[in-house]
Copies of this chain bind each other. A is one copy, B any other.
Amino acid sequence: MSTTTSTIATAAPEHFTPVPLDKAYRLLNHGPTVLVSAAHAGQHNVMAAAWACALDFAPPKVTLVLDKATRTRELVEASGEFALQLPTVPMAAMTVAIGTDSAKTHPDKLQQHGVPLFHAPSHASTHISTHIPLVHGCAAWLLCRVIPEPHNQQTYDLFIGEVVAAWADERVFRHGHWEFDTAPDALRTLHYVAGGQFYATGTSVRV
């Protein structure tokens, strides 16, 4: 199996800001499509996934469906870690591309599709390797540790993760709230349907 290689920057993006863990569920609550990153033994990969969901508030947990055919799943199972991140509207084509091409058949898919990566900040308290690459341009990032549930993983391709660190672009998520209506439209997140079609996160509806 080929190594997936691409350059990983060390500097985080300009507006990359920590999100308190008790607010992390809000990053996924509106049902966005995610990119899933994982790394193990010097290899890393990123794929797209429509089926990620919040599972608990505190400690925050998530569910994630990862097909057995994917390279990312192998890395998640080997490392026990993954990152979820929320691609934005300008990243729609990249999201479809890295969700369609597998690193198993396209070992250079991240370079080919120009996926800009940076390393997650070191978080000693989380016992996460911090070798997981994150994707530039996303609206939010969640670093997760797998809670092993072999029956779910084998039977349903369903993984459960505890969120151990989270960040967001402070222009669009601040003080624990999404601010899509006042942030640049390019920071709106994506909701996948099928066949290369998404809906952007729309207008705010307050009750």
Give A residues with C-beta under 8 Å from B.
Answer: 26, 29-33, 50-56, 61, 63, 65, 89, 92-93, 95-96, 149, 151-152, 156-158, 160, 176-178, 180, 188, 190-207
Contact = CB atoms under 8 A, between A and B. Distances in A.
B204 A202 contact: no
A198 to B, nearest CB: 4
B194 A191 contact: no
The residue in A53, A63, A96, A203 that gathers the most chain B C-beta atoms within 10 A of its C-beta is A53
A50 B65 contact: no
B178 A29 contact: no
A158 B55 contact: yes
Copies of the chain in the assembly: 2
The residue in A50, A93, A149, A205 that gathers the most chain B C-beta atoms within 10 A of its C-beta is A205
The residue in A26, A194, A198, A202 that gathers the most chain B C-beta atoms within 10 A of its C-beta is A202
Given A30-B199, A89-B205, A55 B61 contact: no
23 contacts: A26-B194, A29-B50, A29-B191, A29-B193, A30-B31, A30-B193, A31-B31, A51-B54, A52-B53, A53-B53, A61-B156, A95-B207, A152-B152, A178-B193, A197-B204, A197-B205, A199-B201, A199-B202, A199-B205, A200-B203, A200-B204, A200-B205, A201-B202
